[in-house]
Amino acid sequence: MTIEVEWRDYDVIVVGSGGAGSMAARAAADDGARVLVVSKDPVGCSDTKISEGNATVRAVATDGDTEETLSENIRMAGGNLPVQSITDAFAKDSQSAFDLFRAQGLRPAIDHDRDGPKATPMAFGGHNHRRSVGLPNHGIAFAHAGWNAVVQGNGVDYLEDAWFLDLVTDEGDDGESRIVGGLIYHASAGTLIAVRAPAVVIAAGGLSTLFFPKTDTMRGNTGDSYAIAARAGADLVDMEQCQFLPFCIASPPSYEGLLVGEPASASYLGVLRDKNGKVILDSVYQRTRAECSAAIMRAVADGRGSPNGGAYLDMTGNKVLPRSGPYFMRYLETCLPAAYRNARQAFSKPVAKCEEPWEVRPSAHYHMGGLRADADGAAVKGQGDGDRALGIKGLFAAGQAMGGLFGANRLGSTSLTEVSVFGARAGRAATALARASTAKVDDAAFTPLIEATTARFGQVGTVAAATLKLELQQQAWDAIGPARTADGIAGIAGLFASLTERLDSVAIPGYATWNQSFIEFEELRNLLESGKAVAAAAGERDGSLGGHVRLDRGEISVFSTPYSTVVHRDENGGYVARRETRPRTPFKKLVSYKVKEDWRRLQSKWFRYLPASVKDRKLEARYQAIMGTPDGAAPEIEPGSDDAAIAEKKAA
């Protein structure tokens, strides 16, 4: 059968309906654009929804927290890879962008002394100021706001169960590449929708599904953002920078990969041990996520890993002290409520109560790399920070889809700010571009894509895309996952080539309505593109830096000249990588940063060797300073009980 094609016209298409997509759509519509949101999952069911629900809001707790301080904090944490105009934009807009969520019903607790949202008690990982705001119900509260922004209408149309397949470009009157629209598979209606639009904002999330285990990030993170942009000819930046969270569940299987802790939640005395009980990383609470992941993966590579491919996060030292121990449990619970809920559901009682070490392993989470863009999310190309005039006209990205903000490491609580800062910026910039666009579109530009897509329905084949996806996941973990080697990175090229060839042997039935085989096929195609981009960038980055951990090479020195990797797809579908040097933080600042960091580590090391009673009193005072007197202990859950299967206990 032939699948029907419907035609539509809009000013701006927004791909994705999470935090970035919803804010982009709202901003564009409020500026007068006719907007279509295209979402493969139900509206708002995104990484924003499943997140811990903490956003960075500059100066929310302290007056000295200037835009410069925050912008520089992000760049230094990111190994000097972030683009300054982008980190400046983040710092400049962080307050107003948070209010975009508040305009849609997000209601944080208020600090009436400061007349603003109430800050969390501790600075989040890597932040040099306390500037995070948490919400009851975590990311779900943000999702309600984003959902409201899209579903209300007021200039925004939306499609859910709709896969945005590819961009359509042509060479405008000036001979330069520009967006003219895109093609959508609307699965629930069983139609293809060709949309003419001069601007597209890609806000379709990351690529964590390239790996397993992964955290609770959505299944739909199949690299669609990067694949769609790359196939249209865009540059991608820092693609080797995948963020793996170190402390995720290794077993039981139903919970594998879900987050149970962060470096900060390990508190003052948490350490990592190998299977022999030897400490492989101390002062865990002061480490970055990448350092913790690397320590675990090195132990696994040396055969000193735990039975389920991880290591042990030992927090018993915090727990056993008589005075401060009870505070620690309360701290652990309030610090990361959703993660601790996972621990209580998955682990045995003594383990969840930190009387025994936790078996943990890294898990794929967030992607720092993405579309190479300017501070409005517009695609750029060329030297240095790139130039919009050389990019693809009309192509924008926001949220995880966009690169250049975090570089090699993302600070805690920044992504929920990222989505609204750059969602709104991209939405407004796309509207301005659409308003200025007058060029005629020739529908013939859509023909090759429509024909190629239609031909896939009814493709005779011998293999299922879902099966190939699993094969890719497994090898991607080993080759371009949390621990990499030159041989591994080079070796996965063979799998990429064979899977690309086998795409034509995937069996796809001919029916149009919710064709799961076609959906799996498209997602596999996108995962493959993203995997190739990650591998090309990882091959170019010849030492460990942030989310890119090389077992066969040392750490790249902070004093060397920093560079970002830039990859693009060539006409044969291969990925070509090169470097763009970045300005380094002034030498004096770097030295002072290093000295401070070493001093903090030394103090915490020295602290561990104090007599237990002294340690106990000092810790009690520290906990009291953070959270006051503890009231009530965390509820205990028996694994295998109804409390551990929460949907069953509370079921209708």
Partner 1 sequence: MKIEIETHRDGETAIVDYSYERREPNEKPMILDVLLQAQATTMPDLAFRYGCRARNCGVCTVDLNGKPRVACRARIREGDRISPVNTLPVLADLVVQRDGVARQMRDRLTGAAPGNDFNQDPPEDYHELTACIECYACLQGCPMHARNLAEGAENDPRDGYTYGSPFSLLKLQLLRLDPLSTEVSREQALEHAKALGLDTCKDCAGCKCGVGIDLMGKVVRQMLAAVGE
Residues in the chain: 652
Chain-centre distance of CA 81, in angstroms? 17
Q: State the residue for tokens 């915490």.
A: 604
Q: Does 140 bind partner 1 (CB under 8 A)?
A: yes
Binding-site member from 16, 19, 21, 44 for partner 1 (CB under 8 A): 44
What φ, ψ does residue 236 adopt, rounded to 5°?
-115, 150
Write down the least CB distance from residue 53 to partner 1, Å: 10
Q: Which stretch binds partner 1 (CB under 8 A): 56-64, 255-263, 442-450, 585-593?
A: 255-263
Write down the least CB distance from residue 50 to partner 1, Å: 4
If one counts every other C-beta atom within 10 angstroms of the C-beta of residue 644, the result is: 18
Compute how many residues bind partner 1; rule: CB under 8 A. Answer: 74
Q: Does 384 bind partner 1 (CB under 8 A)?
A: no
Read off the amino acid at residue 470. Answer: L
Q: Does 517 bind partner 1 (CB under 8 A)?
A: yes
SS3 content of the chain, % helix, strand, coil (to 5): 40, 20, 40
Binding to partner 1 in span 58-97, by CB under 8 A: none
Binding-site member from 66, 152, 557, 581 for partner 1 (CB under 8 A): 152
Q: Does 104 bind partner 1 (CB under 8 A)?
A: yes
Cβ proximity to partner 1: between 460 and 470 the closer is 470
Q: Does 440 bind partner 1 (CB under 8 A)?
A: no
∠ CA(233), CA(82), CA(30), 5° rounding? Answer: 70
Binding-site member from 107, 579, 600, 605 for partner 1 (CB under 8 A): 107
Q: Does 470 bind partner 1 (CB under 8 A)?
A: yes
Write down the least CB distance from residue 360 to partner 1, Å: 16
DSSP H or E stretch at residue 279 = strand 279-281
Binding-site member from 4, 7, 103, 442 for partner 1 (CB under 8 A): 103
What φ, ψ does residue 28 adopt, rounded to 5°?
-65, -45
Binding to partner 1 in span 527-586, by CB under 8 A: none
Binding to partner 1 in span 291-350, by CB under 8 A: 338, 342
Question: Omega of the bond prior to 586 within 30 degrees of 0, cis?
Answer: no
Q: How far apart are CA 380 and CA 83, in angstroms?
A: 12
Q: State the residue for tokens 């009231």.
A: 631
Q: How far apart are CA 40 and CA 21, in angstroms?
A: 12
Cβ proximity to partner 1: between 467 and 624 the closer is 467
Instruction: Tell me if 96 sits within 8 A of 59, measured CB to CB.
Output: no
3-state secondary structure 80-140: CCCCHHHHHHHHHHHHHHHHHHHHCCCCCCEECCCCEECCCCCCCCCCCCCCEEECCCHHH
Binding-site member from 3, 20, 25, 50 for partner 1 (CB under 8 A): 50
Non-local CB neighbours of 197 within 8 Å, separated by 6+ positions: 9, 10, 11, 12, 13, 36, 179, 180, 181, 182, 434
Q: Which stretch binds partner 1 (CB under 8 A): 271-279, 507-515, 543-551, 573-581?
A: 507-515
Q: Does 253 bind partner 1 (CB under 8 A)?
A: yes
Binding-site member from 138, 353, 388, 541 for partner 1 (CB under 8 A): 138
Binding to partner 1 in span 182-221, by CB under 8 A: 187-189, 216-220
Binding-site member from 78, 134, 139, 403 for partner 1 (CB under 8 A): 139
As a whole number of Å, the CA-based R_g of the chain is 24
Q: Does 434 bind partner 1 (CB under 8 A)?
A: no
Q: Which stretch binds partner 1 (CB under 8 A): 136-144, 433-441, 581-589, 605-613?
A: 136-144
Q: For 511-557, where are the E strands, in sequence order?
A: none
Q: How far apart are CA 236 and CA 185, in angstroms?
A: 25
Q: Does 361 bind partner 1 (CB under 8 A)?
A: no
Write down the least CB distance from residue 246 to partner 1, Å: 18
Binding to partner 1 in span 15-34, by CB under 8 A: 26
Q: Which stretch binds partner 1 (CB under 8 A): 125-133, 249-257, 448-456, 583-591?
A: 249-257
Q: Does 99 bind partner 1 (CB under 8 A)?
A: yes
Write down the least CB distance from residue 137 to partner 1, Å: 5
Cβ proximity to partner 1: between 7 and 559 the closer is 7
Q: How far apart are CA 400 and CA 402, in angstroms?
A: 5
Q: How far apart are CA 546 and CA 417, in angstroms?
A: 21
Q: Does 460 bind partner 1 (CB under 8 A)?
A: no
Cβ proximity to partner 1: between 157 and 616 the closer is 157
Cβ proximity to partner 1: between 348 and 561 the closer is 348
Report the DSSP pairing between strands 12-15 and 35-38: parallel
| Tokens at 24, concatenated | 């982009």
* DSSP SS3 for 393: strand
